[in-house]
Structure 1
Amino acid sequence: MQVLKFGGTSVATAANITRVIDIVAAAARQETTLVVVSALGGTTDALIEAGRLAAAGNEEYRQRLRHLESRHLEAARELVPVTSQSSVLSLVKTHCNELEGICNGVFLLGELSVRTLDRVMSFGELLASQLVAAGLRARQVPHQWHDSRQLIRTDAQHGVATVDFGVTKQQINDFVAAQPGALYVVPGFIAADAQGATTTLGRGGSDYTAAIFAGALGASRLEIWTDVSGMMTADPRLVPHARPIPRISYQEAMELSHFGAKVLYPPTIQPVMSQGIPLWIKNTFAPTDHGTLVEVSPPANNHIVRGLSSIGQLALLSLEGGGMVGIPGFSKRLFEALAREKINVILITQSSSEHSISVAINSRDAAAAQRSVDEEFAYEIAVGKVDPLHLETDLAIVALVGENMKNHSGISGRLFGALGNNGVNIRAIAQGSSEKNISTVIRAQDVKKAINVLHESFFEATSKQINLFVVGVGNVGSKLLEQLARQQAYLQEKLKLNVRVVGLANSRRFALHEHGLALHEWPQALAEGEPLHLPALVEAIHARNLRNAVFVDVTASADVAQVYGALLEKSVAVVACNKIACASEYVNYARLKALAQEFNTDFLFETNVGAGLPVIGTLNDLLRSGDVVNRIEAVLSGTLNFVFNHYDGKRPFAEVVRQAQLEGYTEPDPRLDLSGTDVARKILILARETGEKLEMEQIHNVSFLPDSCMQGSVEDFYEQLAVHEEHFQGLYEAAAAQGKKLKFVARYAGGKASVGLQSIAPGHDFYALHGKDNAVLFYTNRYAEQPLVIKGAGAGAEVTASGVFADIIRAARG
């Protein structure tokens, strides 16, 4: 004997019922089969609503009943040929008339008792199971339909009746023995008390019916047919890469179901679990899928965690106070106060100091719980022994479940690390001594991110999703997008990183696509985006709350730099090509560094100094390994190096500068480079990274530009360069006369920093710098005689973009 149960979605329409009949007929050919049928999807809720409307004196109940009747009659007509319809249509009409008569009585009395409500709800399963039987009859499949109320005996606790298993088992076995057959059909959810009054089995009632029959008959298996292909590693509505769980233990299935996996309701499977009867969860709409086999001892699997689950709409109640310490009975009184209001406790956690105890409950019960607990502890609150009950709402539970977690160290650490790295704050934690479950209470708005992060950590070791928000699509930004597009496959294959650009902005517009922008079509996406308002962009990033989020600033905008703090506070990593933040007031620089540390995220700005050269990274490695930096000398402007390497007094200085700008080596305003301001910012950042608390105005900047060059517009600047060509020729000729070359050099030593144009003699590390090259010399305790030299291209869109790219990968792998 095997027992098959079909849920509401499986029988929601005539087409669905036809699928059910095909499955049932095939099963009955293999083994004696008993089929348990739920009400058509949504019917039970509609029946309850009709009953309550009638009790409230609202005649709208009649319309609800007419709709239910029409729905069942339509299904009957689609299932059964016209020549055989009369009997089944008559049966549906008879039941619907009886239902209407009951509701009319409720309407007249203005009262809906729990006993009457049970009777009203019973019509859903009665009608659905008889529609299935009619469909089988129309296809000439031999079967017997029987009313479960004649077989399952309960007490008279209507709505949540308790089964008398002794009487029930005897009645079921007597029925099967007296009426042998290959196929039986029964309604789920309903039963009867000793007086024959209709009762219902509560939440998950049809599953319970199936388990009762399977347990009573010692079935070879119980199959629960629903609209999903078994239990999943996570909710597929939240986690696109969730996968079916082929085999799972009863204990694991119950834990997952308790914490939100709606495939099973744990108490209902007790009759089969106690006998070790295998339970299959199958998909009516994909019957060939493997589904999930729930058994006592499934074989070992490769995953320590079997699945993830969550419950939303929770509240956390916390009872705290010094008067609780060492005093027995506080917990008992707390739970009694909740029990008086019939409030179910989902999670419990208590501090070892006995100073506080917290419980998670459904949000709808929060007000009643707070009132009841405050009343219970009114005296203790009044005298200050206990604080008034603290209530937090808009919470959820995310749980890890798995038999294999037992005795495996580090599972909690991976859980907390994965959540912490993504800014998911844990409000409470609970873990059973069996170690099958680790539950965390978090903000409801973080559930999707948390579930995805944990699923990646425990089930998708082959891939980590990185979500980029890129601001700035000029020379460097566009090159960065090209590099990302070119390297996506490599990153996926070699580094197991799924890097997606989900947000893009320029100075005018921004576009957000949660599932990722097509990188070869980004100009179109940006053109179709919204007008840029930075606070709105930041708010949108927060609202999407995506995991492993990285904000990439490829601008020179002070306004963009001002939003870093708001992002870091939400554990969004910041990668900045923009130097403004790190060269701003020291207190702001220090604050951003501290925020990154406090919120366990990254603030990376390697390209602030030396474009793609590993200058800051190398400096940090030296310091972290215990070295001490005594002096730094550097040529830090690819622009200025390009200009003085190409200026020979024969071509106008202004022409060489314009060439540098056209080739993308300068800032949008070249004066930032030629004035030394940009170099001053860079040496300031390096000095700060060594631990020096310098400000920009403390950098001694010896400018080689006449004052008039710094006035007016960029075009005015070029005009003044031409006017002062003789000045620039003089600088060049003075250096050339000594066999030297002009280099704009930055120096830091003894807590002081300076920048300025210098004549460099042959043999110096800076003398042979060509084109747009940069060079940084670190003189440290370890590199005292010969400095550690970092040298290479220090300007250009391609190399700068590659430096930003490298920082993105560091953030992704951090």
Structure 2
Amino acid sequence: MKVLKFGGTSVGSSKNINSVIHILDNYSKEDTVICVVSAVGGITDKLLLAGTQAQNKDTNFLNTFNTIKEIHLDIINELNPNKSKDILVDVNEQLKTLKSLLDGIYLINELSPKTSDKLVSFGESLSSFIIAKTMKNRGLSARQKNSQHLIITNSNFTKAEVDFNITNSNIKGYFKSASQQITILPGFVANSNLGEQTTLGRGGSDFTAAIVAAALNVKQLEIWTDVSGMFTTNPKLVRQAYPIEKISYQEAMELSHFGAKVLYPPTVQPVLDLNIPIHIKNTLQPEAVGTVISNNASNATRPVKGISNISNVALLTLQGSGMVGIPGFSKRLFETLSQEKINIILITQASSEHSICLGIDESDSHAAKIAIDSAFENEIALKKIDPIIVETGLSIIALVGDNMKNHQGISGKMFSSLGKNNINIRAIAQGASEKNISAVIASNDVKKALNTLHEQFFETQTKQLNVFITGVGNVGERLVEQIKQQKNYLKENLKINLRIIGLSNSKTMIFNDQGIDLKTWKEKLAEGEKASLHGFFEKIKALNLRNSIFVDVTANKDVANLYENYLRQSIGVVACNKIACSNHYQNYSLLKRLSLKYNAPFLFETNVGAGLPIIDTLNNLIASGDKITSIQAVLSGSLNFVFNNFNETTKFHDVVKQAQAEGYTEPDPRIDLSGVDVARKILILARESGVKINLEDIENKPFLSEAGLKSNTVDDFYKTLIEDEAHYQGLFASAKTNNCQLKYVAEFDSGKASVGLQEIPVAHPFYNLKGSDNIVMFYTERYPEQPMIIKGAGAGADVTASGLFADIIRIGNN
């Protein structure tokens, strides 16, 4: 069973009604259909106008009545050119009754709420009857059922409250035995429990459809109108506005409350409790996707779902020093407006309690001022508060989105973008739920404001980076956590949407082309498929996502050998693995060329100084026309940590173990202590300086014992450290005697490079280097005597991860 509702514009002409009939005919071939219809477009307003004219003894009510009559008769004749006679008989009877009612209003000079409900009910009654009879004339199994026999309310005329127990029972009972394939119901109308005609208030036809859908617990309620769903903002004011495919109930209610005309908020309530989706469709474009409103709305990448506005707003400001700290002012203010039946649209109050601002409909502003000034007459006379201040010519604009609370800086972006466009904000309101951020502005700024905000939140191009990380051990895990922490910041501030699509360790790998959930990645990786370096590459290649970046957080030679494959597929490479860039010069040069040829970034800042911008600074010097003459550096954070913590009271073995445990050394500490790691680093700097040099060209002056150098395994190596403790104590004693510090220094000068342990005297810049810090001194043609110095933490999981992260961001910014 399907429930559809068609609004006034959908049944506003014979052409549109034919579209409605075609849609219902198609639906009825698969299921029974219940169709709720509004009055013909504009008829409800004309009925109210006729009633007001009659009440005011204005005989023009007869002209208005004749217009109503002609509209319906024309539609009947156009829909039923050869079979209109039987329809016209019944319609003319209804019109005769309507005319009598208007005559009565004219005679007694009164239009009560009860009579008003009876008057406006003719609109839906006529439209539903005409549509049902037309469908029957065309051979369809259709019947009109008067909603007044099903929906029972109290006697609160013009906005009656539904008795759901009786109503639900009536609806279930009727449709359990109904035999027709299509049932046409008039929307908006109902009967009181005393048998009097009532209406459900503004948006009543939507409400009728929701009541029926909830009573029958259908799978979906469809509301057909003249637009293709709920738009990101008013398409009449913003040409770039587009339909929102999925939205939550709460977001839909917020947008509807703040001006979106497609849906009236109370409509949502009957289906909300039962989680029945509402699908908004376009009668004139039935193939359009429309908008689905449900509890399962997809969390889009944009935190803001829509931008809405309310026009003709007046801002009331009650202020005065006598309000501060005195309870009861707000209560009296709200009660005063409630007694006048004035609806409050927006409320804001400063923490100082010096003022309260209220947004109301501009048409109520005069009555509101009189009532409030009267209620606070004594306080105004005593100068405790000022007379109420009323500002008109205002509108409210609102950002709406369930997910705004998870994104920092939404309100800042909103107000900043408005300010840059010279749009003054008169008042601001934001609830703790952060589903809505509202601002009061001048009405003549609305179009500019909507376009500004739509451009800011829906049109700004955000660069999406799709990241694949292999090696999620100590450093890799920190990188993932840093990305998780900064994900929203990157979106909001750098316009980078960074998604981790693939992760791999030595055992398993996982992929998700929509982005891996970084809250549960460890659990998912543990259950992933078997890891394969080639398989990882093939999967990235197959996904073929734009702005793909492969991040190597290993020290694996086989991984480094795959860089060429990635670059040839225009997949960027970010590496802390030094093997590729310290391999044969020919291989290094090839990777650089492939990076340029395939427009695939190849960044390896962490190869030298973890998170320090050493390579970036070097490249900037060369790019600006400078030339490197020599480099002096302490490039091993691990060795610096070791020699800063080693002395006559400690054992060299214990310090090295500590360095490894804290993540300062490679998994195999021999790489660091043998000087190979430092040699690779100075080699990379020399190559980036423009020198063709290989690792074997670098002079390595080892400080390890002969046994340590010849050890075959890590365990054997640690044994030699214990056995050769005297050797290392001798190195320390020599330095101490000469009042020096031990530092492992890398040097590059005149095309030659060397690495080795040196005794650094007190006056040297390296002498006071603490902890795991690195230092690099660039001597250039512009810095011939006083070098450019870069100094800071050069080892550790967090800083290495931050260096990798910085390279990823560099790619995003380019």
Give the whole-Å Cα distance in 1 for the aligned partners of 2:52 and 2:131.
Answer: 28
User: Is the contact between residue 36 and residue 210 of structure 1 (CA under 8 Å) also seen in structure 2?
Assistant: yes
Give the whole-Å Cα distance in 2 for the aligned partners of 1:193 and 1:339.
Answer: 25
Give the whole-Å Cα distance in 1 for the aligned partners of 2:260 and 2:427.
Answer: 21
Give the whole-Å Cα distance in 2 for the aligned partners of 1:37 and 1:156.
Answer: 23
**What does residue range 332-731 of structure 1 map to in structure 2 within 5 Å?**
332-462=331-461
Structure 1 residue 298 displacement after superposition: 1.0
User: Is the contact between residue 136 and residue 143 of structure 2 (CA under 8 Å) also seen in structure 1?
Assistant: no
Overall identity of the aligned pairs, in % = 51
- Which one-letter code corresponds to 2:10 in the other structure? S
- Which one-letter code corresponds to 2:159 in the other structure? V
Structure 1 residue 29 displacement after superposition: 1.4
User: Is the contact between residue 127 and residue 186 of structure 2 (CA under 8 Å) also seen in structure 1?
Assistant: yes
**Structure 1: which 5+ runs fail to align?**
464-494, 497-781, 784-814
SS of residue matched to 2:153 = coil
Q: Which of structures 1 and 2 has the bigger CA Rg?
A: 2
Give the whole-Å Cα distance in 2 for the aligned partners of 1:144 and 1:134.
Answer: 7
Give the whole-Å Cα distance in 2 for the aligned partners of 1:382 and 1:105.
Answer: 49
Structure 1 residue 273 displacement after superposition: 1.1
- Which one-letter code corresponds to 2:57 in the other structure? G
Task: Name 1:305's counterpart in structure 2.
Answer: 304
- Which one-letter code corresponds to 1:449 in the other structure? K
User: Is the contact between residue 81 and residue 138 of structure 1 (CA under 8 Å) also seen in structure 2?
Assistant: no
Structure 1 residue 195 displacement after superposition: 2.3
Task: Name 2:490's counterpart in structure 1.
Answer: none
Give the whole-Å Cα distance in 1 for the aligned partners of 2:332 and 2:112.
Answer: 32
Give the whole-Å Cα distance in 2 for the aligned partners of 1:192 and 1:356.
Answer: 45
- Which one-letter code corresponds to 2:35 in the other structure? V
Matched, 1:136 2:116: no
1:659-701, Cα deviation, whole Å (9 max, x unpaired): xxxxxxxxxxxxxxxxxxxxxxxxxxxxxxxxxxxxxxxxxxx
User: Is the contact between residue 33 and residue 183 of structure 1 (CA under 8 Å) also seen in structure 2?
Assistant: yes
Task: Name 2:166's counterpart in structure 1.
Answer: 167
Task: Name 1:34's counterpart in structure 2.
Answer: 34
Matched, 1:122 2:121: yes
1:244-266, Cα deviation, whole Å (9 max, x unpaired): 10000000000001001010010
Task: Name 1:283's counterpart in structure 2.
Answer: 282
Give the whole-Å Cα distance in 2 for the aligned partners of 1:452 and 1:179.
Answer: 50
1:213-251, Cα deviation, whole Å (9 max, x unpaired): 001111111111000000000100110000110000000
Matched, 1:78 2:78: yes
CA distance 1:180–1:138, shift in 2 (3 Å): closer
**What does residue range 210-229 of structure 1 map to in structure 2 within 5 Å?**
210-229=209-228
Structure 1 residue 391 displacement after superposition: 1.1
Give the whole-Å Cα distance in 2 for the aligned partners of 1:57 and 1:269.
Answer: 40
User: Is the contact between residue 18 and residue 135 of structure 1 (CA under 8 Å) also seen in structure 2?
Assistant: no
Structure 1 residue 57 displacement after superposition: 1.4
Task: Name 1:710's counterpart in structure 2.
Answer: none
Give the whole-Å Cα distance in 2 for the aligned partners of 1:57 and 1:351.
Answer: 50
User: Is the contact between residue 249 and residue 295 of structure 2 (CA under 8 Å) also seen in structure 1?
Assistant: yes
- Which one-letter code corresponds to 2:348 in the other structure? T
1:375-401, Cα deviation, whole Å (9 max, x unpaired): 111111111111111111111111000
SS of residue matched to 2:380 = helix
Give the whole-Å Cα distance in 2 for the aligned partners of 1:386 and 1:110.
Answer: 43
User: Is the contact between residue 69 and residue 92 of structure 1 (CA under 8 Å) also seen in structure 2?
Assistant: no
Structure 1 residue 80 displacement after superposition: 1.3
Give the whole-Å Cα distance in 2 for the aligned partners of 1:315 and 1:420.
Answer: 22
Task: Name 1:647's counterpart in structure 2.
Answer: none
User: Is the contact between residue 4 and residue 36 of structure 1 (CA under 8 Å) also seen in structure 2?
Assistant: yes
What TM-score comes out, normalization by structure 2 length? 0.56
SS of residue matched to 1:160 = coil
- Which one-letter code corresponds to 1:343 in the other structure? I
Task: Name 1:292's counterpart in structure 2.
Answer: 291
1:124-163, Cα deviation, whole Å (9 max, x unpaired): 0011011111221122110221000000000111101110
Task: Name 2:176's counterpart in structure 1.
Answer: 177
Task: Name 2:66's counterpart in structure 1.
Answer: 66
Task: Name 1:15's counterpart in structure 2.
Answer: 15
Task: Name 1:676's counterpart in structure 2.
Answer: none
Give the whole-Å Cα distance in 1 for the aligned partners of 2:370 and 2:108.
Answer: 33
SS of residue matched to 1:10 = coil
- Which one-letter code corresponds to 1:340 in the other structure? Q
Matched, 1:113 2:112: yes
Give the whole-Å Cα distance in 1 for the aligned partners of 2:32 and 2:220.
Answer: 11
**Structure 2: which 5+ runs fail to align?**
463-493, 496-781, 784-814
- Which one-letter code corresponds to 2:404 in the other structure? M
- Which one-letter code corresponds to 1:86 in the other structure? K
Give the whole-Å Cα distance in 1 for the aligned partners of 2:209 and 2:292.
Answer: 16
| Greater displacement, 177-186 / 278-287 | 177-186
Give the whole-Å Cα distance in 1 for the aligned partners of 2:244 and 2:28.
Answer: 27
SS of residue matched to 1:314 = strand
- Which one-letter code corresponds to 2:73 in the other structure? L
User: Is the contact between residue 418 and residue 457 of structure 1 (CA under 8 Å) also seen in structure 2?
Assistant: yes
- Which one-letter code corresponds to 1:348 in the other structure? I
Task: Name 1:189's counterpart in structure 2.
Answer: 188
Matched, 1:5 2:5: yes
Structure 1 residue 178 displacement after superposition: 2.4
Give the whole-Å Cα distance in 2 for the aligned partners of 1:257 and 1:5.
Answer: 17
User: Is the contact between residue 133 and residue 143 of structure 2 (CA under 8 Å) also seen in structure 1?
Assistant: no
1:287-340, Cα deviation, whole Å (9 max, x unpaired): 000000000121221211000000010011011111111111000000011111
- Which one-letter code corresponds to 2:112 in the other structure? S
- Which one-letter code corresponds to 2:422 in the other structure? G
Structure 1 residue 180 displacement after superposition: 3.4
Task: Name 1:236's counterpart in structure 2.
Answer: 235
SS of residue matched to 1:347 = strand
Give the whole-Å Cα distance in 1 for the aligned partners of 2:258 and 2:415.
Answer: 19
Give the whole-Å Cα distance in 2 for the aligned partners of 1:59 and 1:420.
Answer: 53
Structure 1 residue 182 displacement after superposition: 2.4
1:195-228, Cα deviation, whole Å (9 max, x unpaired): 2211011000100000010011111111110000
Task: Name 2:325's counterpart in structure 1.
Answer: 326
1:503-531, Cα deviation, whole Å (9 max, x unpaired): xxxxxxxxxxxxxxxxxxxxxxxxxxxxx
Structure 1 residue 32 displacement after superposition: 1.8
User: Is the contact between residue 373 and residue 387 of structure 2 (CA under 8 Å) also seen in structure 1?
Assistant: yes
1:406-445, Cα deviation, whole Å (9 max, x unpaired): 1311111100110010111111111111111100011111
Give the whole-Å Cα distance in 2 for the aligned partners of 1:249 and 1:100.
Answer: 44
Give the whole-Å Cα distance in 2 for the aligned partners of 1:174 and 1:81.
Answer: 36
User: Is the contact between residue 322 and residue 385 of structure 2 (CA under 8 Å) also seen in structure 1?
Assistant: yes
1:58-98, Cα deviation, whole Å (9 max, x unpaired): 1111111111111111111111141x221101111011001
Give the whole-Å Cα distance in 1 for the aligned partners of 2:320 and 2:24.
Answer: 60
SS of residue matched to 2:152 = coil
Task: Name 1:43's counterpart in structure 2.
Answer: 43
Give the whole-Å Cα distance in 2 for the aligned partners of 1:407 and 1:298.
Answer: 16
What TM-score comes out, normalization by structure 1 length? 0.56
